[in-house]
Amino acid sequence: MTRWAMVADLRRCVGCQTCTTACRHANATPPGVQWRRVLDMEFGEYPDVHRAFVPVGCQHCDDPPCMHVCPSKATKKRADGIVTIDYDLCIGCGYCAVACPYQARYKTDKALFAYGEPTQSEAKRHDAARLAVATKCTFCVDRIDAGVEKGLTPGIDPEATPACVNACIASALVFGDLDDPQSNVSELLAEHQHFRMHEELGTGPGFYYVWDKALP
């Protein structure tokens, strides 16, 4: 089996938001919609303060609450762990958005463009099917599927890898097959201490955060 997962190394992320931009470019998301976001978080009180840049987005959960609540079955989970939305089934009720503990889902009711009128690129890539329905990170599923079909390895071969991972300047984002013990993500997680966001909710996110090397 394959279980696609993403790892964000919090020690490496510098908060440059190149992943955010790459995602927006690859997926033609409208202004205000960031399927891959990077949070700038500060902790502590002066002089003992810490800062962390935290990439967030759809966590492609093992047990996605968004899928369970969806009344139209528009949200599904594939066998490889990727959570998808069928835009033709979605009724835009927003139930999935309030069920997601990671604020990963967006609903845009009207076409929005960066400068009011659509640029040539925006006009060409505008997809009316994504209006008034739920949208979110897809792990660039089209790239993965097309790459796998060509015999490429997602997470290794850029052509088959999510745009945000390809774009990361610090190699802070890593993508791969969690079920393969030799994969880049499996080895990274084996060699480091890591956690998942809001793990207590039992959603089983497919998105891991590395925070330190493994204890000796």
Partner 1 sequence: MSFGPAPWQQTNWDWRAAGNFICGGAGAGLIVLAALSGAVGAAFTGLVLAGLALVGLGLFCVWLEIGRPLRALHVFFNPRTSWMTREAFTATLLFPVGLAAAAAVPGCAGVAAVLALAFVYCQGRMLQGAKGIPAWREPLLTPLIVTTGLAEGAGLFFLTEPLHATGTQAMLAIFGTLVLVRMLVWFAYRRRLAAAAAPGANLALDRAGRMLQIAGTLVPLALIAAIVGGAVSAAQTPLIAAIAGLAATAAGAYTKYAIVTRAGFNQGFALAHLPVRGVRP
Which residues form the interface with partner 1 (CB under 8 A)? 9-11, 39-45, 50, 52, 54, 56, 65, 67-74, 89-95, 97-103, 107, 109, 131-133, 193, 195, 197-199, 201, 203, 209, 211-213
Nearer to partner 1, 2 or 108 (CB): 108
CB of 165 to partner 1, least distance (A): 19
Nearer to partner 1, 65 or 147 (CB): 65
Nearer to partner 1, 97 or 140 (CB): 97
CB of 86 to partner 1, least distance (A): 10
Nearer to partner 1, 73 or 125 (CB): 73
Residues in the chain: 216
CB of 180 to partner 1, least distance (A): 25
Nearer to partner 1, 90 or 174 (CB): 90
Nearer to partner 1, 7 or 26 (CB): 7
CA of residue 136 relative to chain centroid, distance: 8
Helix residue ranges, H only, the chain: 18-27, 65-69, 95-99, 120-125, 141-149, 163-167, 184-191
171 DSSP β-pair partners: none
CB of 101 to partner 1, least distance (A): 5
CB of 150 to partner 1, least distance (A): 34
CB of 182 to partner 1, least distance (A): 26
